[in-house]
Amino acid sequence: MIQISALPAFTDNYIWLLQDPHTRRCAVVDPGDAAPVQAWLAAHPEWVLSDILITHHHHDHVGGVEQLKKATDATVYGPASENIPARDIALKDRDRVSVLGCDFEIIEIPGHTLGHIAFYHQGLLFCGDTLFAAGCGRLFEGTPEQMHSSLTRLAALPEDTLVYCAHEYTLSNLRFAIAVEPGNPDIAERLATVTGQREGGIITLPSTLALEKLTNPFLRTGETSVKEKVDERIGTHNRAPSAVFAALRAWKDKF
């Protein structure tokens, strides 16, 4: 079984480090900066970086790839339809790749960027900037409909799936979530927990899909309470979930 830990980068990025204790090989997801990865490798000289997984082309996710590629023999996996530096393996929807002996399925999740992919392996989801803890990524390239269907697809994975997203945005996302659903006790409870964690400088990830379904407004666009709140703000009625999603995302952009 692989072990997973976070290497913090920049102000709020996490580079996920996957370790196979049997082979002493490791992999990283979205190394926007090579420095934290190289510092870890220098401190753990018995470990070999064998794989680099990329979810999308933004600099805070790919910025360290070329330097790591030069320093190691790692294979670089990334979305086929995006420009990924030093990419060895171009991935499309439903492709399968074996990383550290684990079989990962590729799920295309356009919205934040058009080629954005997620890596899924039995209860582990690396979803970059698409599904965040209590939130979702901004729509830089895709439409609200695309992002809504991407999130719907991720939400259909098993409930106990651990969600490893790429940023520590949970607290600010929950402040928005509680504004959307002031009467949701699960959001209130999570907000209290996460507030305490962040005061202590503790990571709030991974999340689970079960918790996201209870507390993430962007996965709750079919809920009456969320719909009514959007109707109240926009002055409309009977919106389809994707339209509720679009209105929520626009609201969050200015929140």
**DSSP characters for 45-69?**
TT-EEEEEE-S---HHHHTTHHHHH
**Contacts with 159 (C-beta within 8 Å, 6 or more apart), sequence order:** 208, 209, 210, 213
- Whether 51 sits among the annotated catalytic residues: the reply is no
Query: Smallest gap, in angstroms, from Cβ of residue 129 to Zn ion?
Result: 4
User: Does 112 participate in catalysis according to the annotation?
Assistant: yes
Among 33, 60, 82, 108, contact with Fe ion (rule: CB under 5 A): 60
- Of 58 and 229, nearer to Zn ion (C-beta) is 58
Three-state DSSP state, 161: coil
Of positions 20, 129, 168, 212, contacts Zn ion by CB under 5 A: 129
Q: Which residues share a beta bridge with 119?
A: 106, 126
Name which of residues 112 to 171 contact Fe ion (CB under 5 A). Answer: 129
The one catalytic residue in 57, 61, 116, 121 is 61
30, 51, 57, 58: which one is catalytic? Answer: 58
Q: Which of the listed partners (Fe ion, Zn ion, none) does 181 bind, with a CB threshold of 5 to 8 Å by partner kind?
A: none
- β strands within 54-167, DSSP E: 75-79, 89-91, 96-99, 102-108, 117-121, 124-128, 131-132, 135-136, 162-165
Which among 6-14, 32-40, 121-129, 229-237 is the span making contact with Zn ion, rule CB under 5 A? 121-129
Q: Is 33 in the site for Fe ion (CB under 5 A)?
A: no
Residue 129 among the catalytic residues: yes
Distance in angstroms (rounded) separating the CA atoms of residues 87 and 80: 9
Active site residue 121: no
Q: Is residue 60 among the annotated active site residues?
A: yes
Which residue among 60, 116, 121, 148 is the active-site one? Answer: 60
Per CB under 5 A, which region of 29-37, 56-64, 150-158, 233-241 contacts Zn ion?
Answer: 56-64
Per-position DSSP letters for 193-224, written without gaps between them? HHHHHHHTT-----EEHHHHHHH-GGG-TTSH
Measure the CA angle with vertex 112, ends 128 and 63; round to 5°. 55
Residues at the site binding Fe ion, with contacts judged by CB under 5 A: 60, 129
Give catalytic residue positions.
56, 58, 60-61, 112, 129, 167
Residues at the site binding Zn ion, with contacts judged by CB under 5 A: 58, 129
